[in-house]
Amino acid sequence: MISEGRAPGTGHRTGHLAASIGRRSLAAMAAWLVERRLTQVSSRLKDLRDELSMIDEQLDVFSDDADNADIRALVSETPGAAFEANDARKHRDAMQKHRAHVVEKIAELEQRQDDLLDQLSS
């Protein structure tokens, strides 16, 4: 249905069709982008969880070393043993801080993942 004075293809119905196609294309592109971000977040989460596992193993070793160094420092009562114990505690504390940072980052990414899943389902 083309009205007088309008060029072919610019009729009222054609405009609605183009707008409808545009909205669907935009929605498909938005969904693709959300899926891509979701894939990236999932990959990063996997990497961080693997890192957390390694950190936990290292933290166990550092904690054991710090405990043993504390006992040696108490038994020997020498400045060198006290220095070693202090150094071992510093390593353990640094690893605990790193672990806390990774756990915090995992929580942030899990929240981001939930948000992206909500966007995808709506």
**Residue 3: is its pLDDT beyond 80?**
no
Phi-psi bin for 23: left (phi > 0), alpha (psi -120 to 50), beta?
Answer: alpha
Helix or strand or coil: residue 95? helix
Residue 46's pLDDT is: 99
pTM recorded for the entire structure: 0.73
What is the CB neighbour count within 10 angstroms for residue 99? 16
Residue 122's pLDDT is: 79
Q: Are 40 and 31 in contact (CB under 8 A)?
A: no
How does residue 1 score in pLDDT terms, banded at 50, 70 and 90?
Answer: very low
Residue 94's pLDDT is: 98
| pLDDT (tens digit per residue) in 38-78 | 999 999 999 999 999 999 999 999 999 999 999 999 999 89
- Mean pLDDT across the chain, nearest whole number? 87
Residues 6+ apart with CB under 8 A from 59: 92, 95, 96, 99
